Structure 1
Amino acid sequence: MRLSRQRGLAAVEATIVLPIMLLLMLTIGEFGRLLYEYNTLTKAVRAGARTASVSPNPGNFDVSLVQDKTRNMILYGQETIGTKTVLPGLKAEDINVSPLLIDGETYVQIHVSYDWQPMFGDSFNMFFGNTISLNFPLETSMIMRALL
């Protein structure tokens, strides 16, 4: 007799726990994707800084001579214009390349601000009409000495 009263209890427990578990799994997946894209952005900036620092540049360092190659390296993973960017939504306007002069040495400073977009919407709706924005910039920068 005792078993008959608990017959649908497993279905009720699954109904309560399943949405919470799915939300937790999706959150973990999005966080993993965020870390992956930040790592990809950091590697692209490192490759761009390396390209800028070893590019042949006669006389004083001039950013305009290496800026296009550096931006292409960060955007497409190659020195020439490609068809697919390394990260979706990454634009040339997000990349700032500037020279620095420190103790008589010339350095290249690269700063990138990438607007990360989650896969499942731009905001999270809370109870009572409140929303939390899920868009935020991933920023990374690097300074490397220019080899003239």
Structure 2
Amino acid sequence: MTDTPNAEAFWAAFQSYLDHFEDFVNAGTYGYYLLGSSAAENGEASSNDTDYNFRMVSFVAPNMTIPQTQNLLRPWFNTLNTLNVSFTPVYSHADSFYEVWEEDNFPLETGGLDIYKLASRLLPRNVFENEDLRNKNFLAQRDAIEKVC
């Protein structure tokens, strides 16, 4: 997401990603995203900064064509459009997961930086099936980012 009208639109857009997550998992996709503060990333963070950043580094949809992937993402993208959130998806095809990785869709993870807290989680399916648990997951991620800002 490159531009949002305000912080609430940003968080609604990210929550919408989590709301569609079960559909993405059911389709066998894999997403790698960065979530944080744009200002912190640039070394310019200040108290109460609401310039947030969500960047989908890669969204891999094995065994799906580009039109099938676009169709899968359409409900989430419709929400982003409704929220006036700017985004620019880039689609490409690869014959293997290695080809996807080789095209630099998965950056080397540096970890331990002041502005990034690297995390990877395997969450049980019920976290996304259950609205209350899904919302708690969203609030935990939002809280972690807002504490940095």
Q: TM-score range by the shorter chain?
A: under 0.3
- Give the structure with the larger strand fraction: 1
TM-score, with structure 2 as normaliser: 0.27
Greater relative contact order, per chain length (Cα 8 Å cut-off, separation 6+): 2
